[in-house]
Structure 1
Amino acid sequence: MGIEAISGGPVSVGRPSHHPVLAVIAVVLGAFIHSLDTRLFAIGLPDLRGALGLTFDEGAWLSTAATAPQILIAPAIAWLAVVFGLRRVLIGPGLVYVVISLLVPFARDYQTLLVLHFIRGMLPGVFIPVTIMIVLRNLPMQWWIVGLAAYSFRLSFTGNAGVSLVGFYVQHLGWQWLYWQDAVVALLMVILTLLGTPRESINRALLAKADWGGMLLFGAGLALIYAGLDQGNRLDWFGSGTVTALLAGGAALVVCFLINEAVVAEPWASPTVLMSRNVLLVMATLITYMITSLSNTMLVPTFLTAVAGLRPEQIGSLLLVYTALPICVVVLVAIYLLRRIDARFVMILGLTSFAIAAWMGTRVTGAWVLDDFIPIALAQALGQGLTFTALLIFVLANADPARATAFVAYIQVMRLDIIEITVTGMSTWLRVREQLHSNLVGLHVAAGDSEVAQRLARLTGEFLDYGAAAASARAVGTLARLVRRQADVLSFIDGFTVAFWGAIAGLLLVSLMRAAPPGPLTPNGMQAGSNGVH
């Protein structure tokens, strides 16, 4: 086969459901619920703080409570789906999610809000892992690439369309719809799951061998690490006892998990499932993808907010029209290409597009407005639609999808903790670089300098209607804001530079990969896969 196959964990066998098309739609909806919820909450948090009367600190902890809990159970869901069946794992949590999403806008006590968000935050941790399992266990193998592409599509699409939705809800329907939309979509997902997935009996043999300790240690450890990362920038990292305790405690639990997997008779998610050249390279490439994709999900909207002073509803048109909608076409192109050429070439096309987008971003100035970002947004759409889809298909092709249950646990690590690490790292980088550039620019704005004096004189003249003393103070404040604005622009140039080199590093890693073994996810193995050959 050219490369060792990955094994470990309970075996899943692709078999059709009664209505596989409905199962695919349920897959898309379940994945969309999580992605939209995460994106809408992050962008709409300032509006939610105002509507709910929360302080900045209360809003920050509410955000952590809404996201970190999902990783408590997300790694174990694939195993639980094999043991209990997709219906039992998906439908109950889906209905609970509907009820809580309806209730949250009516809660006003902060403690109640935290509890509701904690419970609600766990449930998307069910939807995403089950998405992959629906594809691999219930669809005919010739549908696998389409189903996995749908999983990939939701991440790219919702990250860009979510900005427009936040603006629409807040301006026209009310902030409550940031929650209520999830209730509508989740209910539809539950109905389609009932119609599209088969009834399955409980696998009592696997249940008797359950590695509950490993699941608890891994999920709890990753959740603590995520919470520590999420609060790190706000609380000054290791200067905070809370952040230190969260990170150290989480790391200790993960170490205990690794020890547990080494000594138990039936490990639930043995790290040996990762011990493959291609798998390790793809995991590393996923990290570079997450770094370079920040040019789209973070740098462009944050620049337009911080420097251009725009609100989500103003930014949303750019991301919706020039990134989200083109991704609909790009993912279809990715499916077409992945059926005909090696996924590595599709990765190269996607990462090259990201490199071009980031390179264009390094040319940004303080005068840029929405239209200046259109070429970047189009290049990012191409990168988003091609790269992640190809990476997901390639890693599962190398991980032997017939034994993907244990492997899916580690995909959740990449999906949550590694994403949080890259986002937190970029946020820290922008903050540090802004401080550095502010100091460096400030060195050229010295009192007594003739150019500075002339600029202050012009600014003072513009504010003379407020009185001489007030005009002078306003002039100094305006000049300080101009310095800060220029420092912000320079820090974003540094951010785009990091995104550019992230894409280049990804291209180098792809060049080291070997061809995947023939199978239902590779062009040369699709015919064998459709005939039932694994």
Structure 2
Amino acid sequence: MDIKPLFGLCGVLIAAITSEFNDQVTSIALSDVRGALGISHDAGTWIESLYVSAEIIGMATSPWLLVTFTLRRWTLLAIALCGASSVLIPFSPNIEAIYTLRLLQGLAGGMIVPLLMTTAFRVLTPDIRLYGLAVYALTATFTPALASTVAALWTDIVDWRFVFLQTIPLCSLAGVLVWYCLHQDQPKYERFRMLDWRGALLLVIGSGALSTMLYQGDRLDWFNSSLICVLALVSAVAIPLFLVNEWFHPLPFLKLQMLGRRNIAYGALGLFTFLLISQSGSTVPLRYLQEIQGYRPLQSNLITLEIAASQLLMLPAMALLLDYKRVDSRVVSMVGLGLILASCIGSSFLTVYWNRDQFYLWQLLQAVGQPMVIMPLLMMTTNSVAGPAEGPFAAALVNTSRAVAEAASAWFVALIDRWRNALHSDRIIDQAGQDRWRVLQSNGVLPQYPPPLTPAGQPRMPNSLEAFRHAVEQQAAILSTSDTFLILGGMTVFLMVVVMTLPVRTVPPRILFAKP
């Protein structure tokens, strides 16, 4: 076997990891980035929102365009766009320029990730395809977990600008490997005669409206905001029209008919649900440590670094295990989901005394369980692809659901926090009771109302009342975090039911695709 294309695959992998860093590292280091660039909190939320909106568009359209322009040329274009848009952000003159560059950065990231799966289809023979799937799985499990460590390195040790400048060496190396090691095909520009321009327009409008609504909804108080109402209406109209258009178009971006195969349907639904669980499961402990215990990224990153380091061992081990014909991939998935469920239940017992040490065991269960879910999922999905011609369509379906999962994850965590936090705050204050307030007031701890005013004209809050408010907020945050883990556990149970009912058993690629 010619090993030169394998180096090309490594180049695409490096580019995919870089694009994931552009997303995840920037999200974790956003407070430092906003402070350095002088951006307010509300304006800063658009930095994430715009990225994800463009990423969805890139993931849906990239497989179609790579066939048209050829894999090598399209990959080099995506790498160049990724590097250029990232490097310019720290030197942007205004917020509008930053928004534009983040859109281009998200588009490049969405373009790159499906290329990894398509390249693996093309380069790897059935004998080693499982290990190629392990390479793709790195971007779903390894890179997000490593992002907090990388963010801590740049913000707390080196310089915040390297959140963006890190792309220079990575994109340069990726570009060189792709340029010299991937075969150059003949472009198929005649495909533009059948360009799905109506689908592209509906995709931009619908996915942009949906992802913006999910990211900005909590900040704008959902349907009390006219903007959110408009975005909801636009997405409710545009997305169904897009799906209908894709179903009937002769050369669509998303070949929805492939979802009629049970394993591909499981790949799209399962990856969406899995990423919703895994990304939220990694975000919630970090948020607890930083908001409740006052940790910096440099202090809290070890719990996710544990997951990242474990993937380098677990993903190849899962590829080796699944290569045996007697191993049922669905059973492996169920065991992995059981470990993730145990992690969610164990983490739900957190208290105000928990710090980083208490999370190590439960995150270890996540580290072992995640590759046991993602590797069987990828094997079952890719084994249902009939040939190389269907590879780009499968990549588009799977990766579009992956991009939507990122926006849904941000919405999901914010929704739980808002809902449960408000509920627990009300209950804690009710339990304190009016009698308790009267006792404190009669003892002279609390002043008579109305309270005295500060020089700014605001009510002056006594120290005891301030301490009580802080305690209520802290306990409500802890209880809502516990509820988040339990809800993630419920979603894990849902995914277990899907695994038991939707996919069918498949054998390793080296057997399934063996030449007669």
Q: TM-score, normalised by structure 2?
A: 0.90
- Structure 2, unpaired ranges of 5+: 448-458
Q: CA deviation at 1:160?
A: 1.7
Instruction: Sort the Cα spacing of 1:84 and 1:471 in 2 relative to 1 into closer, same or farther, 3 A.
Output: closer
Question: Aligned residue for 2:369?
Answer: 383
Q: CA deviation at 1:472?
A: 8.2
Instruction: Sort the Cα spacing of 1:443 and 1:108 in 2 relative to 1 into closer, same or farther, 3 A.
Output: same
Q: Is the 2:134–2:315 contact (alpha carbons within 8 Å) kept by the matching residues of 1? A: yes
Does residue 427 in structure 1 map to residue 414 in structure 2? yes
Does residue 35 in structure 1 map to residue 17 in structure 2? no
Q: CA deviation at 1:115?
A: 1.6
Question: Aligned residue for 2:338?
Answer: 352
Could you tell me which of 344, 354, 363 is aligned with 1:368?
354
Does residue 445 in structure 1 map to residue 432 in structure 2? yes
Q: CA deviation at 1:512?
A: 1.4
- The 2-side partners of 1:112 and 1:186 are apart by 22
Q: For 1:241-279, what per-residue CA distance to the aligned partner results, in whole angstroms no more than 9, with x for missing partners?
A: 222222322332222223323443444433211113333
Q: Aligned to 2:216, what secondary structure does the other structure show? A: helix
Q: Is the 2:272–2:402 contact (alpha carbons within 8 Å) kept by the matching residues of 1? A: no
Q: Is the 1:337–1:346 contact (alpha carbons within 8 Å) kept by the matching residues of 2? A: no
Q: CA deviation at 1:346?
A: 2.0
Question: Aligned residue for 1:416?
Answer: 403
Question: Aligned residue for 1:239?
Answer: 224
Q: What amino acid is aligned across from residue 409 of structure 2 in structure 1?
A: T
- The 2-side partners of 1:263 and 1:155 are apart by 31
Q: CA deviation at 1:195?
A: 2.2
Could you tell me which of 494, 500, 514 is aligned with 1:511?
500
Instruction: Sort the Cα spacing of 1:53 and 1:268 in 2 relative to 1 into closer, same or farther, 3 A.
Output: closer
- The 1-side partners of 2:36 and 2:222 are apart by 29
Q: What amino acid is aligned across from residue 334 of structure 2 in structure 1?
A: I
Q: CA deviation at 1:444?
A: 1.8
Could you tell me which of 94, 101, 104 is aligned with 2:89?
104
- The 2-side partners of 1:486 and 1:459 are apart by 22
% identity of equivalent residues: 23
Instruction: Sort the Cα spacing of 1:225 and 1:347 in 2 relative to 1 into closer, same or farther, 3 A.
Output: same
Q: Is the 1:66–1:120 contact (alpha carbons within 8 Å) kept by the matching residues of 2? A: yes
Instruction: Sort the Cα spacing of 1:375 and 1:343 in 2 relative to 1 into closer, same or farther, 3 A.
Output: same
Instruction: Sort the Cα spacing of 1:265 and 1:395 in 2 relative to 1 into closer, same or farther, 3 A.
Output: closer
Instruction: Sort the Cα spacing of 1:211 and 1:331 in 2 relative to 1 into closer, same or farther, 3 A.
Output: same
Q: CA deviation at 1:530?
A: 4.6
Q: Is the 1:214–1:261 contact (alpha carbons within 8 Å) kept by the matching residues of 2? A: yes
Q: Aligned to 1:398, what secondary structure does the other structure show? A: coil
Could you tell me which of 312, 317, 320 is aligned with 2:302?
317
Could you tell me which of 196, 207, 219 is aligned with 1:211?
196
Q: CA deviation at 1:188?
A: 1.0
Does residue 393 in structure 1 map to residue 379 in structure 2? yes
Does residue 327 in structure 1 map to residue 314 in structure 2? no
Q: CA deviation at 1:161?
A: 1.6
Question: Aligned residue for 1:3?
Answer: none
Q: How does 1:62-461 map to 2 (within 5 A)?
A: 62-294=47-279, 296-320=281-305, 322-340=306-324, 341-400=327-386, 402=388, 403-449=390-436, 453=440
- The 2-side partners of 1:410 and 1:111 are apart by 32
Q: CA deviation at 1:308?
A: 1.4
Q: Is the 2:446–2:462 contact (alpha carbons within 8 Å) kept by the matching residues of 1? A: no
RMSD: 2.6
Q: CA deviation at 1:353?
A: 1.1
Q: Is the 1:355–1:503 contact (alpha carbons within 8 Å) kept by the matching residues of 2? A: yes
Q: For 1:159-209, what per-residue CA distance to the aligned partner results, in whole angstroms no more than 9, with x for missing partners?
A: 222112112111221110000102221111111111221011012454443
Q: For 1:440-483, what per-residue CA distance to the aligned partner results, in whole angstroms no more than 9, with x for missing partners?
A: 011122354399849x99999xxxxxxxxx99811211121112
Q: What is the aligned length? A: 501
Question: Aligned residue for 1:7?
Answer: none
Q: TM-score, normalised by structure 1?
A: 0.87
Q: For 1:23-55, what per-residue CA distance to the aligned partner results, in whole angstroms no more than 9, with x for missing partners?
A: 231232122112211111111111111000011
